[in-house]
Structure formats: structure tokens, C-alpha cells
Structure 1
Amino acid sequence: MKKIQLFLLISLSVNCLVFAQKPPNVVVFLVDDLRPVLGCYGNKVIKSPNIDALAKDGVKFNKAYAQQAICAPSRMSILTGMRPENIGIYSLFTPLRSVHKEIVTMPQLFKENGYVTVSLGKVYHHVSDDKESWSMLFPNEPNAYVKPENIAIADERKGNGPAFENAEVEDEAYKDGRVARDAVETLSKIKDDKFMMVVGLSKPHLPFNAPKKYWDLYNKDQFVVPNTKAPTNAGKYALTNWGELRNYAGIPQVGLLDDETAKTLMQGYYASVSYMDAQVGKVMKALDDLDLRKNTIVVFMSDHGWKLGEYGAWCKHTNFEIDVNVPLIISRESSYEKRKVNASSDALIENVDVFPTLAEACGLKTQELDGKSLVTLADNPKQCFHKAAYSVYPRGKNIMGFTCTDGKMRYTEWWDNKGNKLIENELYFNKQNYMKVSQNFAQSDKYQKDVERMKALLSVQFPNEERANYPQFDK
């Protein structure tokens, strides 16, 4: 009897210890316009030591996908765990809460469960969106200039100045440096609380403004301008005129960029990535210095990809692999007994999966979400997950592009929602360097079986009979 009592006492003590353990904290680095141009993803030119170190301390996902290649809808999708076609917002101009009061967002769920929720920098596209869900909401500053001549150009144009700047200043002279500073200071204030912090880093979004020391890591002549030809038979809806870049001073309104300008922009993009990487390092160091890393889950992710001159195009705004494939790294708290480090997964996953992942990892129950928790995959990175990853992109009010990949091919259908009919389709192979696909094989007799197979896969998520009925709340 004494042995039984002793066993029960020990069991009760262990259980009390487990239940008394503090739930994990969460830090999400949400980066803007970052394609997988990182050392940990195999790029030999980029200098990204801090993100590479994070990848070694967790699981790197090689086939992660955004649900739409534009900022506002993509971020809403991440923060709600819902797909853009179910939210009904596809543009930059409609805040989430202007049409959806009922959706429980990720910060809202964490706040309702006793977490201090912190938004720093660019998290939602609209900084005031969902503001009640944040315990601490820092402003999303504009991507401003430092050099007087560039400030003058921006003022004269009543908007964007040059597409890049490289002033000899400290990191905090530009926006992301201040975001990192505020994140470090905030961590020291909330270290005794359970918290969920989203660090919204704007680089490498245009303009490519970064301290000169990061530009000096690269020489523009080391960059090679990619093939500027659009894929053969790509169709008229496949690409855009990259108007986002054309809004900046010194960029031609029509036609291709000359090689010197293209190389300078490539150098600026890489410099901006290295600048952003340095800010990630500052926050990670603070987690270590404050002894928070042992109980903090860290996620590094991008809202969508970006083109650096491929197909003669720039920016995002397409359904090409290069615009929807994104880096995503999950590093569990260092005390987590199943945690995987220096691991890599080729499973198909989506940004919409992040919310349910963090909720499950922190023991929180969600409403029904479109995403699926990645906890089991993070614990066993070699297993399969989704059969396909899905994205959308509209062309105006009536044309919607629906796309999916099975990891080997990408299939896209451009659909007339008003007429409820297919306009054109695309089939590309994700072989070798998928960033440089050269031909649309959708009309090739040789690949019709592949077209039919991918068409069926696309219809799993986007049934033909439902495509004209997706909500659209854009103003």
C-alpha cells in the first residue's frame, strides 16, 4: 500500500509539473516579397547567415506556397487560416475587418487565451486592421528615404522616389532596423508573460533602401540578367506589366529595363535581403540573451515570392511558381522533446497552414480553418502532407486565375467568372530550375494526360460549378 501511495504521489507531482509548465511563446518573422533567395535554400551568392542559422535550428520547408501573390490578401490568409477565395478580398484596398467581423484571427485567438500579442512593422497590409486583436500595436512606417535628394524626388512626385538607395547610415536609419530595435526592447518588457509576437520586416520590398554596408556585400557585375522572354504560349493573362516597379523614379513606363538598371536592382534586392537578415539576427540574439529561446517557437516566412527580371518581368502578381513559392522555416522551442533541427522537408505545404500549426503547438482550439496543422510534419519532416498546393490571382473583377502544383508540375486555369467558362490554361514542369520555365505545354498533344490529371487535382479545391460563386468584397 505504501508503494502504491508513493507511486501516486510521484505521478501527481509529475502531472502538476507538466500542467504548471508555461505554454510556448511564439515569434513569427513575416517578411515581404522574399523568394527563396537564401543560403539555406542553396543560393551561393546571398549573405544570409542569421536565417541560415535558424534553418539549422529547425525544419526548412522547400515546397511552401502562398495563396495569392500580393501583400494584403496573402497576409489576411496567413492571419486567418483561410484562403483568399473564402475571404473574398483579392486587392490591396479592402481591410479584413471592413467586411469580416466574425472571423477569429490568429492574434485574436492568442489574445483571448491570455497571450500578450505584439504587432511590429508590416503585419497586415493595413496597420489599423484587426487592431483590437493586438495587445501592443506598433506603427507600420513607410519605406522612407534618407538622402536629401531622394527625399526631394519623393516629395515632388507625391509618392515614390527612386527604386533604391544605399546611404552610409546605421541600420535604424531605415524602417526594418527600427522594427528590430522595438522588437528587442519589447521582448525585455514582456519576457515574464506568455506572448505571440509578429515581426513584420518590409525588406526586400521596394524601394531597395538599405545601409551601404549591405550593398557593399555585392558587386552588381556579379549578377546575370535572366532570360527576358516570356514562356512560349504562356497566354495573355499569365504575366503583368509590373506596374509596381514602374511607379518609381527612373524606371521606364514601357519596355524592358536596360541591363545596368536590372543589375543594380538585383544588387539592391540582395542587399535588402542581407539587411533584413541582420535584423532577424538581432531578435534571435535577444531571445537567447533573455533565456526565452527554450520556450519560444520561431517561424520565418514570406507573404509571396518575387521576379528579378525573369520573363522580362519584375515584382509579383502572377500565378507562376516564382511568385507563389516561398521560404518557410519552423523552429520549435529548444526544450521541445521531439524537436527536429537541421532538417529539410519536400512535402507540399501552404502559408494558410501556419495559423493552425501555431494554435496546435500552443494547445489552443480554433474554429474550422482552411489550413492544416504542420505539427506532425515538423516532427517527421520526411512524410507526405498535401497532395497539392493551391493559389489564386485575379485579373480585374471577372477573370480569376486558379493554380496548383503537385510538386512536379504547375497547372493554371484562367476562368471567366461572369461567363462561367475556361478562357485559357497553362502547364509547366517544375524540373531543374523551375524559376525559368520556357514553355506552356497545356496545348501539346503529348501532355494531355498530364493536363487532365492536373485539371482533376485543381478541381478538388476549385470545382468548376463553384468558381463563379466565390465572394468578392473588394471596394
Structure 2
Amino acid sequence: MKKFIILFITTFYFVGSNAQEKQPNVLIFYIDDLRAELGCYGSKTAITPHIDKLANDGILFNKAYVQQAICAPSRMSMLTGLRPETLGIHSIFTPLRKVHKEIVSIPQLFNKNGYKTVSIGKVYHHASDDKNEWSTYFEKEQNIYYKPENIEILRHLKEEGKPLKGPAFENADVADDAYKDGRVAKYAIETLRKLKDDKFIMFVGLSKPHLPFNAPKKYWDLYDKNNFEIPSRKKPEDAYRLALSPWGELKAYSNIPGKGNLDDDLTRNLIHGYHASVSYIDAQIGKIMKTLNNLDLRKNTMIIFMSDHGYKIGEYASWCKQSNMEIDVRIPMIISRETDHKNRNTGKISNALIESVDIYSTLVEVCNLKGAPKTDGKSILPIMENPSKKWEKAAYSVYARGKKIMGVTTTDGDWRYTEWRNSQTHEILGAELYQHKNNLLSYKNLSGNSDFTSVEQRMKKLLEKEFPRDINPFLQNDIPRNN
């Protein structure tokens, strides 16, 4: 009888341990407007020690892409595992639940599987999508200015009935939690302490380096603005007329001129502010990771670090995102698990083509979730276990210009091919072919160049695999095309 009891206890222990390993905690750092301007991605200017350490403890994905380079569609695509063309939503103004009440999101699926689900900071773009999907939800906070001259600007704008868009940057000498991302870190730390004995998925939505570039002075002081180079203002030759946006998002701020290129001094100030904001959120990540380790949660927590899209800080004489250019659709992504140490995958770089829409399926497999719906993504767990594994031949993105023109684009890792189509006639209004084998930027549209006919034909076939000419990319599809 005694042997039976010992055997039962031992069996229970190992079954319990395996179940625990199959359902790890998940911590997702979801960053706004962050391009791969990080030390671990080879940046010569960014100071990001905590993110770099996370990359050294996991796998850095060098070819990760979003499905649309703008906040709302990109985030709802990631959180549902469905592409914008499946959801039928391409506008920043349309909340997910206004169109789809039936779709099961990541937090809803985790809720059904017994997880505590936490949203802190900016996760969905729209608060109306956020509020009812989490067991713990923190409201998004507004941008705050502290310098007297900036407060005065806001007062005048309010008196004049104008939008309250102050200057595009500020460097007040304040503590980290004076600005909202410092408070996000504070809430995350407090919540981790409360949930240390529970199974959880936590999204930490850090808003910087989104405009305005408001960050404590000590992060600005890490950099000398005179050391920043002014990006080339050259635009891609022969690009489609709507390939780039007029970057009205930046022009809406009070100290940004409404027309023309920005002068070198203002450009450097903005680049300085972008870098300061990146170092600011890096410090917040460091605090949260320290707490995770101190609570002994690191060993059973998968960490995902990612952005909602890329960003331009003056390249192509343009700013912000809102395009199909490589610099806008490519994102930094790092995934780190303790099993990476056992598999000797720490510090590895994967050049596999992966998409943010793959995160949903990946979480389902890693966390052994039941009742998952069909999605457009594909679990990248095989890449996490073997970073050099051959993977998909292409990644896809879209960007709409109004309601009548859709840009559809694909990359094979070396080339990017884009078509701009009339949504009703399916006529190709313009095509772009850019080489990106060794460069993030490309200044010559090679579409129609006879020297690259075979490349263009191959890329065109890849594009039409996801975006057939006889299907209107504006219209939603009822059933995801991939499992």
C-alpha cells in the first residue's frame, strides 16, 4: 500500500509538472511605432540594454512583418489571428467589435482556458474593443506635458477650440512614472505580484516611441543630438504616386510646419526624441523583467516583444508609417522562453519570414489551448525550436488609399513587390519592385525593368497566391484561408 501511495504521488507530480509546462504564463510587450531601431538589431545609435538582453536570452526574428502599417488594423489582426482583408477592416477609425462581435480574440480564448488575462496600456487601438475582453484591464492614459511653455500652448489651443496637439516632443526633468509608460510599468509590476500564483497572459502596451516623443530628460541626456545623421530625403524613383503618405499625423503637432520638408535642426530634435523614447521604454521593460525574475516567474513565462508596425524618421523625406514600404511593415520581434536555454537557442537569429498574424496560432500551440478557432496565421513554434528551419516563402501586407484603391504587397526576404489596384475593376494602377537584400531602404522602383523581369514575375505569383486579382481585397472573407 505504501508503494502504491508513493507511485501515485510521483505520477501526479510529473503529470502536474508536464501540464504546467504545457500551459506557461505569457508576457507580451506590445510597443507602438517601434521600428528595429535597437542595439540587438544592429543600430549604431539606440541605447537599449534591457531589450538587447532579452534578445540574448531568446530568439531574434529578423524578418517579422505586420499585416498593415497602422495601429488599429494591425493590432486587431494580431489579437484575432485574422488578416485585415479577412476582417474587412482597414481604417484606424473602425473598432473591431463594431463589425465583428463573434470573433474570439486572444484574451477571450485564454479566459476560456482558465487564464487570468491582463491588459495594461495600449493593446487594442480602441478602448471600446479592450474593456470587456480581459479579467484585469487598465484604461489607456493620455499624453501629458510638464514644461510651462507647453502647458501654455495647450491652454491657447483649448481656448481657440483647436485639437489639443501640443509640441511633438518634450524632455521634462521628471520621474519615469510622470509620463504614462512609467505608470504602465508600475501597474505591470503591481499586477505581477498579485498574479504570481495564477496562470496568466499579460499584455504590456508601451506607447512610446509613438508621438509625441515625451520622455524624461535623463533619457534625452543619453544622446547628443549632433551625432544623429540626417536621413536622405531622396524618394524612391518611379514609385506609385500614393506609395507614401503625406505624414499628416506628425504635421498635426503644434511645432511642426504644415508644408515642406523639415529643416535639419527640427529633424535632429525629432530623431533625438524618438531615440530618447525608445530608451525610456527599454528602462520600463528592464523593471518589469527584474520583477518577473524576483518573483521566480521567469522559468514558466514565455515573453514576446514586438511592435505594431515600423516607422520612418525622415527617410524618403517622410515620417510616421501608413505605407507598404519595407521600413513600415517590418517590425522587431523577440521571443524568449526558458526552454531556449535547454535547446541552446538563446541569442539566435532567425531569418524566417513570419507575420504578426502568426502569434495567435503560436500561443494556441505553446499554451495547449482548447477550443481555438481557425485563423489566417501559422504557429511558428517549429522556428522557435529550430531558428534556422526553412519556412514560408513570403509575407504579406496591405494598405488602403481611401475606399477605391488598395495596395497589396509581399516580400520574399530579399525583394518587395507591391501592386496598387482599383477595388472595383481590379485594374493594376501601379506596381513597385524594390530590392532589400542588404538594405532596409530602396530608392529605385525596378518594376518594368527588363533586367528584373524574372524576379518580378516570380514575386507577382507570390502576391497573387494571397491576393488573387478576382477577389476584392476590401471585402472580408467568411473563412480564413489557412489553419
Q: Cα distance, 1:420 vs. partner?
A: 2.0
- Who is 1:109 aligned against? 109
Conservation of the 8 A alpha-carbon contact between 2:31 and 2:308: yes
Q: How far, CA to CA, are the matches of 2:473 and 2:18 in structure 1?
A: 50
Does residue 54 of structure 1 match 2:31? no
Conservation of the 8 A alpha-carbon contact between 2:21 and 2:300: no
Conservation of the 8 A alpha-carbon contact between 1:73 and 1:90: yes
TM normalised by structure 1 equals 0.95
- Who is 1:418 aligned against? 424
Does residue 395 of structure 1 match 2:401? yes
Q: Cα distance, 1:342 vs. partner?
A: 1.0
Conservation of the 8 A alpha-carbon contact between 2:247 and 2:318: yes
After superposition, the Cα gap between the structure-2 partners of 1:12 and 1:115, relative to the gap in structure 1 and judged at 3 Å, is closer
Q: Which of 427, 432, 435 is residue 433 of structure 2 equivalent to? A: 427
Q: Deviations over 1:121-175 (max 9, x none)?
A: 0000112314222001101011221223212313433311000000000000001
Q: How far, CA to CA, are the matches of 2:110 and 2:313 in structure 1?
A: 37
Q: Cα distance, 1:335 vs. partner?
A: 8.8
Q: How far, CA to CA, are the matches of 1:427 and 1:335 in structure 2?
A: 37
Does residue 92 of structure 1 match 2:97? no
Q: How far, CA to CA, are the matches of 1:75 and 1:399 in structure 2?
A: 22
Q: Cα distance, 1:470 vs. partner?
A: 1.8
- Who is 2:357 aligned against? 352
- SS of corresponding position for 1:133: coil
After superposition, the Cα gap between the structure-2 partners of 1:9 and 1:178, relative to the gap in structure 1 and judged at 3 Å, is closer
Unaligned runs of 5+ in 1: none
- Who is 1:329 aligned against? 334
Conservation of the 8 A alpha-carbon contact between 1:58 and 1:339: no
Q: Which of 355, 367, 381 is residue 373 of structure 2 equivalent to? A: 367
Does residue 45 of structure 1 match 2:45? yes
Q: Deviations over 1:77-121 (max 9, x none)?
A: 110011011111111111111110110000000011111100000
Q: How far, CA to CA, are the matches of 2:145 and 2:164 in structure 1?
A: 11
After superposition, the Cα gap between the structure-2 partners of 1:9 and 1:208, relative to the gap in structure 1 and judged at 3 Å, is closer
- SS of corresponding position for 1:434: coil
TM normalised by structure 2 equals 0.93
- Who is 2:481 aligned against? none
Q: Which of 240, 260, 263 is residue 265 of structure 2 equivalent to? A: 260
- SS of corresponding position for 1:355: helix
- Who is 1:167 aligned against? 172
Conservation of the 8 A alpha-carbon contact between 1:64 and 1:328: yes
Q: Cα distance, 1:416 vs. partner?
A: 0.5
Does residue 214 of structure 1 match 2:219? yes
Q: Cα distance, 1:8 vs. partner?
A: 9.5
Q: Cα distance, 1:7 vs. partner?
A: 8.8
- Who is 1:300 aligned against? 305
Q: How far, CA to CA, are the matches of 1:381 and 1:64 in structure 2?
A: 13
Amino acid at match of 2:334: I
- Who is 2:70 aligned against? 70
- SS of corresponding position for 1:187: helix
Q: Cα distance, 1:4 vs. partner?
A: 12
Q: How far, CA to CA, are the matches of 1:229 and 1:471 in structure 2?
A: 37
Q: How does 1:240-279 map to 2 (within 5 A)?
A: 240-279=245-284
Q: Deviations over 1:220-268 (max 9, x none)?
A: 1101111101111012011111100000011111110001100110010
Q: Deviations over 1:285-342 (max 9, x none)?
A: 1100111111111000000000010110000000000000000000014598547211
Q: What value does the CA root-mean-square deviation take over the aligned residues?
A: 2.1
Percent identity among equivalent residues? Answer: 55
How many residue pairs are counted as aligned between the two chains? 470
Q: How far, CA to CA, are the matches of 1:140 and 1:6 in structure 2?
A: 51
